[in-house]
Structure 1
Amino acid sequence: MPAKRWTYVIPVAVVMYMLAFLDRSNVSVVLPYMDGDLSLSAADEGMVTGVFFLGYVFLQIPGAILAQRWSARKTVVILMTAWGVAAMACGLVQTKEQFYVARFVLGLFEGGVWPAVLILLASWFPLRERARANALWMACLPISSIIMAPLSGLMLDHTDWRWVLVLQGFPPLVWAVVWWFAVADRPSQARWISRSEAEYVENALAADEAAKPASGSGSYLDAVRQKPVLVLIGVYFFWITGFYGFTLWLPSVVKTLTHDGSSTEVGLLSAIPFTVALVVMVANAAWSDRTGKRRQAVAVPLVVAIAALLLGQVVQGGVLAMVLLCVTAGAVYAPYGPFWAIPGGVLRMEVVAVAMGLINALGNLGGYVGPYLVGWLTDATGTSVTGFGVLAGFLAVAVVLVLTGLRSVGGTAAGGGAAGTGASAVSEAGQGTGAESRTGQGS
């Protein structure tokens, strides 16, 4: 079976979201080098980081619904253009209040992109390929940090933080043109795909939907009534609180380890934990597909993250501290592939769009809570130890919810029957579609 969808859809989506992740996370790199320009306290810095996620909530569900009922391609290109302009505006602010507003607007426009792309992938990859497709696309998160953290550091050595934010907001405007011509909403609309591949995808997707139980009209209420959705919202919130509380403060920790080294050095060292995260993330997704153990693939890495975060507060500086940063980075990124394989495996398409919007919208509020908690507790206690201890507690709640709240979910989510979808993806990629496997992994 031809596999052009792996070489057209996935790489373009990866680059697109790398740029989105850069524009939301570059602020963590520039904050230590703003030299008091906006008179930001630690709590203010936490607010600058976290207010993004307040805006991020509003277009999650509308973005998912527009992608499903109108066009994922058009929805993303509009949002990409808007967030590029908002990202450039972040470099033009003159007060901390303006910085808050600019970051809020950036989050607003980026908010609909994640669920829209998940809907797009669900129109291109059947369930037996979905986990791998999701994982390959979501690899853009650590890849972005690997590439962009050193780039931001290098730019800071040659210009100021304002120009870094302005210049890094420009690429989404260019990539929106690439996205428009390279991506189609479904195989039947793509000029570059063969008829046989298009028929294979559409027939497989129809069979996937026919095998799922009816789940109502796809309204908000239908989505909320699904127990897995409620549990996944809780898991995602507590996990993302710990996730962003760690990753968005990572450059400051590395800067301390380097004894206030150059911004280029800080950027390069910051890329090391994200390189580890990329490897662990892909490996964990492959293990989850092979065994079908979705719950364990989410819970076990988070337990490791808890231990590494707590131990890291005891170890001060040195190689061991960097090792612990790498372990924590790998552990908090690892659940992405298995986690997002759950909704599409248990919910029909008319419900899954709303469900994924709800999960991402409410769960990502943790992106506000985590950074702000660390900043506020640092100001209140004079040390970041308390903040990271609280973040470890949030991750612990996520583990409990995964292990107890998803027990009653069908095999696809909980791990029993997922092997039927995930393992078959690996099997078929390795046996029947060798080219597809090589292309997909290369993405």
Structure 2
Amino acid sequence: MLRPLPQIRWYRIIPIAFITYSLAYLDRANFGFAAAGGMNEDLHISKATTSLLSSLFFLGYFFFQIPGAHYASHKSAKKLIFVSLILWGSLAAATGMVSNVPSLIVIRFMLGVVESAVMPSMLILLSQWFTKEERSRANTFLILGNPVTVLWMSVLSGYLIESLGWRWMFIIQGVPGIIWAFVWWKMIAETPREATWLSEEEKVAIEQRLQKEQESIKPVKNYGQAFRSKAVILLCVHYFLWSLGVYGFVMWLPSIIKSRQDMDIITTGWLSAVPYILAIVGMFGASYYSDKTQNRKLFIWPFLLIAAVSFVGAYAMKGEFFWLSYALLVLAGGALYAPYGPFFALLTELLPKNVVGGAIGLVNSMGALGSFVGAYLVGYLNGLTGSFYASYILLAFAVLVASLLTLVVSKPRQLG
């Protein structure tokens, strides 16, 4: 009979992971508010350059995913995240001190580089603490830092820009990352074996349960075999398209709202926050029932389909009914976020421990590339057409294809 697992894990690991990922996400999402709140005018940034700057973060993020994930998996996720926290907090604060576009280009790219290992490192760390039956919920609590951060950041950024300007917004929101690095180092335990707050019996219970799970996964010799598998290839394409939709939405939502006449930056902040309230509810619901049923795909593709239909509906409005169009964007935003927990739980259940770190890095790097393409293409289409409507069709198409790809991803026993 298997020993019960200690519930204290949820209180000692999840809050620290949540806050850490929240700080990381803060530094990538506030750029859209700065662009809408005076930065473009102060630095004489064109619409085309804004698109490049919005997407450069993800280009840096793309290139360093796999090396970071490999280090986290085979060395130490704790050390890697500690260094990343200090570096990204410093770079984020430095964004508020730039005086020209070339400096901003370098900082945006480097921000992506130093943050690139955080997501896969966190997923690897959680996989060392939580079992298959818990993993979707654990991942959701981590990724919840994404919509929760955008929720409060949307409101706070509007007030900071209004009262202090965009420069101080970056500085104030960057410094906490540096401080938190030392809290992270003190509070987090990388594995159950290192946790001083667990008894020896509790450590053994967790390790035995996780080891038993590995026995049911088909062995994979190396990264090459893992990366060539049908499941991993499909998930790479899937996450590329999904991320294109997510970050095309996230990076440009403030500008979409601000484009309405007589819309001030504070109101823009409040309205930009609403989709993330729905996202939080959807993420909790999807992760709970995904763990309960152990059917990951059922809690991925329907949400992405809803998002695609919502984007098409927003396109059909053509700006004639702002509030109805806005309601559809709220629905799209909530639906885009809901499946994250089940998706990353599915990924960790496809591959054995020796290669799962690299696979997470590969899939996440393709997501970063999709984010780069999405942020850039939405800005490009907006500048080319003079409106946001063409970009709605782009986002709808990308997310619709991602939804359909979910249905053909192989189950773990079919890997190879």
User: What TM-score bracket applies, with the shorter chain setting the length?
Assistant: over 0.9
Secondary structure at the counterpart of residue 138 of structure 2: helix
Partner of 2:32: 28
Q: Deviations over 1:208-252 (max 9, x none)?
A: 112222110x33x13212221111000000010011101111112
Amino acid at match of 2:159: L
Amino acid at match of 1:24: R
Partner of 1:336: 340
Partner of 1:37: 42
Residue 75 of structure 1, aligned match among 58, 61, 80 = 80
Partner of 1:438: none
Does 2:255 correspond to 1:252? yes
Q: What is the distance in 2 between the residues matched to 1:318 and 1:262?
A: 15
Secondary structure at the counterpart of residue 169 of structure 1: helix
Partner of 2:133: 128
Residue 377 of structure 1, aligned match among 377, 381, 389 = 381
Q: What is the distance in 2 between the residues matched to 1:296 and 1:275?
A: 22
Q: Deviations over 1:422-441 (max 9, x none)?
A: xxxxxxxxxxxxxxxxxxxx
Amino acid at match of 2:203: A
Secondary structure at the counterpart of residue 133 of structure 2: helix
Q: CA deviation at 1:42?
A: 2.0
Q: CA deviation at 1:409?
A: 2.4
Are 2:133 and 2:294, in contact at CA under 8 Å, matched by a contact in 1?
no
Q: What is the distance in 1 between the residues matched to 2:132 and 2:103?
A: 44
Amino acid at match of 2:281: V
Q: What is the distance in 2 between the residues matched to 1:260 and 1:297?
A: 39
Q: CA deviation at 1:26?
A: 0.2
Are 2:226 and 2:359, in contact at CA under 8 Å, matched by a contact in 1?
yes
Are 2:257 and 2:272, in contact at CA under 8 Å, matched by a contact in 1?
yes
Moved more, 176-185 or 373-382: 373-382
RMSD over equivalenced CA pairs, Å: 1.7
Q: What is the distance in 2 between the residues matched to 1:370 and 1:397?
A: 14
Are 1:345 and 1:412, in contact at CA under 8 Å, matched by a contact in 2?
no
Q: CA deviation at 1:253?
A: 2.0
Amino acid at match of 2:328: L
Q: What is the distance in 1 between the residues matched to 2:58 and 2:131?
A: 31
Q: What is the distance in 1 between the residues matched to 2:94 and 2:226?
A: 36
Partner of 2:264: 262
Q: CA deviation at 1:94?
A: 1.7
Amino acid at match of 1:208: E
Q: What is the distance in 2 between the residues matched to 1:128 and 1:284?
A: 14
Does 2:242 correspond to 1:239? yes
- How many corresponding residue pairs? 408
Q: Deviations over 1:396-419 (max 9, x none)?
A: 221222223x1x323799xxxxxx
Partner of 2:304: 302
TM-score by length of 1: 0.89
Does 2:216 correspond to 1:224? no
Does 2:160 correspond to 1:158? no
Amino acid at match of 2:232: V
Amino acid at match of 1:402: T
Secondary structure at the counterpart of residue 313 of structure 1: helix
Q: What is the distance in 1 between the residues matched to 2:361 and 2:298?
A: 24
Q: What is the distance in 2 between the residues matched to 1:41 and 1:338?
A: 39
Q: What is the distance in 1 between the residues matched to 2:277 and 2:187?
A: 28
Are 1:292 and 1:412, in contact at CA under 8 Å, matched by a contact in 2?
no
Structure 1, unaligned runs of 5 or more:
414-443
Partner of 1:102: 107
Are 1:44 and 1:375, in contact at CA under 8 Å, matched by a contact in 2?
no
TM-score by length of 2: 0.94
